[in-house]
Amino acid sequence: MQNQLPPILGPTLEMINRLEREGIIHKPTIGGSVAIMYYAQPVKTDDLDIFCYLPNQTLLIDLSPIYRRLEELGCKVKDLYINVKGVDVQFLVPANQPLVEEALENALSVEIENVKIHLFQYEYALAVKAQAGRAKDWAHIAVALESASPDRVKLEAILKEHGLCEKWRRKIEE
């Protein structure tokens, strides 16, 4: 039954996986609010954050090969976002960001609407959001923690490793 349904994310993820098969990106991984939503209650977000590596990446990030190819495939660019099969996608590449790189390395492989894709572990998704540290990030973390408990030991270790413990305690636990 579900196979015949019009999916929400499936065609978008298939297109993203196609970019990986063509060698334009490596290890596309769902992060951001959608990753947190996989584990916790949904909250409103406008875009799907896809973290990935670029081949031959230097310190300067160049996302244009991704956007160019997706435009060739009929997707429409809207500012920094690109609408891929009905879903606004934001591509993010780790640039000297050890936490994001670690989150990518430790990503899980999941299946969403019959499409295989990588996904941040809950604890990494929370830590990456904490590192971003905008008011809306902390609000989302608070809402997520109310509905789904992370592995405390794992989360503490990640926060400690990346110098986020104090910030976390100040914002969440006080």
Partner 1 sequence: MKSYENVRSNEDIYEAKAESRRKRAAEPFERKLLALVRMQLMDYSLAIAAGRVARKPWHFEDQERIKKYAEAHD
Binding residue (CB under 8 A) for partner 1 from 13, 16, 24, 37: 37
Contacting range for partner 1; rule: CB under 8 A; set: 20-28, 83-91, 93-101, 123-131: 83-91
Q: Least distance from C-beta 48 to partner 1, angstroms? A: 8
- Give the residue with the Cβ less far from partner 1, 53 or 81: 81
- Give the residue with the Cβ less far from partner 1, 2 or 109: 2
Binding residue (CB under 8 A) for partner 1 from 44, 56, 60, 174: 44
Shortest CA distance to 14 belongs to which of 95, 86, 79, 104? 86
Q: Do 124 and 36 form a contact (C-beta atoms < 8 A)?
A: no
- Give the residue with the Cβ less far from partner 1, 71 or 146: 146
Q: Least distance from C-beta 86 to partner 1, angstroms? A: 4
Interface with partner 1 in residues 47-76 (CB under 8 A): none
DSSP the chain: -GGGS--SSHHHHHHHHHHHHTTSSEEEEE-HHHHHHHHS-----S-EEEEEE-TT--SS---HHHHHHHHHTT-EEETTEEEETTEEEEEE--SS-HHHHHHHHTPEEEEETTEEEEE--HHHHHHHHHHH--HHHHHHHHHHHHH----HHHHHHHHHHTT-HHHHIIIII-
Q: Does 6 bind partner 1 (CB under 8 A)?
A: yes
- Give the residue with the Cβ less far from partner 1, 43 or 92: 43
Binding residue (CB under 8 A) for partner 1 from 32, 39, 120, 140: 39
Q: Does 132 bind partner 1 (CB under 8 A)?
A: no
- Where along the sequence are the contacts to partner 1 (CB under 8 A)? 1-2, 5-9, 34, 37-46, 86-88, 112-113, 143, 146-148
